Amino acid sequence: MIVLQPKVDPAGGRVAGAEALVRWKHPEKGMIPPGQFIPILENSGQIVQLDEFVFEQVCALLKRWQEDGIAPLPISVNLSRHHFKNRNFLGRLRSIADHYEVDPGWIELEITESIFFDESSIERVKTIVHQIHQSGFTCSLDDFGSGYSSLGLLKEFEIDAIKLDRIFFPATLDPRSQVVIEGIVALAKNLKLTIVAEGVESSEQADFLRRIGCDLIQGYYYSPPLMPPAFAELRRKRNQKFES
C-alpha cells in the first residue's frame, strides 16, 4: 500500500505536495519496515516492479481526486537506479499516466545521487532527465548532500527541485550547519530550483528553514506518512484558509 508524507510550505503552513512511500502490511507479522524489504528488492532488481506499482497507485489517486472535485497536488515518486537500464521505462510510465487520464505535470520523479557512478552514467542520466521533461513529468534530485558530487550535479542537470538530505538536520542546528544550509538554499534559488528539506523533526529546524526561505518542508514535525484519506483530511484542515 502507499502512504503520503506531506510537503508543507513553512511560510503559511499550507500542504503544497506529497511524497508517495510504500508500506508492507504482512498478514502475520504486521507492518514490515521499508528498511527490511527495500534493499532486498533493490539488490534483486524487483524494485522496478514496486516503483511502477507506487506510480500507478499515485495515478489512480490523482484520478480519484479529479473525479471527486478535489484539486490535485504534486506527488513525487521514487525511481530506482535499475530503471535507467531500460531505455523505454519512461514510455511505460507515461502510458500508465495516460491510462488514468492524469496530467504528468502533477507527478515528480525523484532520482537519487546513488545512480551516478562515473562520467558515462552522468551523460546517460543527463539524457534521461531531458526525456523526463519531454514526457511531461518534473524531476527532483533526492538525498542531496549525501554524495560527494552534489554541487557538480547541479550544474549538469536540468532538475526542477532538490531535496536536502536529513543529514543536514541534527537534533540541534549548530552555527556551521546553519551556514551550510543557508548557502545551499541561496544557491538553489539562484538556479530557480525548488528546495525541499526532508527529515525535519523540530520547531527549531522548521523556524530556521522558514526564515531562510526554504520552499517546502517534509518531516515528522508537520506529519508522518499518512494513508490517503488521512492525508486528505490534514490537507483540508491546513489549507482551509487558503482555499476559502
- H helices, E strands: number in the chain: 8, 10
Extended strands (E) in the chain: 2-9, 14-22, 24-26, 30-32, 75-78, 107-112, 138-144, 161-164, 194-198, 216-218
Q: Which residue has the higher pLDDT, 49 or 147?
A: 49
Amino acid identity for residue 22 in this structure = V
Q: Which helix or strand (DSSP H or E) is residue 157 part of? A: none
Mean pLDDT calculated for residue range 29-33: 75
Question: Which tens digit of pLDDT belongs to each residue from 173-190?
Answer: 888 889 999 999 999 999
- Grid coordinates representing 221 are 514535525
Amino acid identity for residue 173 in this structure = L
Question: How distant is the alpha carbon of residue 212 from its chain centre?
Answer: 21
- Is the pLDDT assigned to residue 149 strictly greater than 60? no
- Grid coordinates representing 24 are 508492507
Mean pLDDT calculated for residue range 199-211: 94
Burial label, 214 (beta-carbon count in 10 A; 0-12, 13-18, 19+): buried
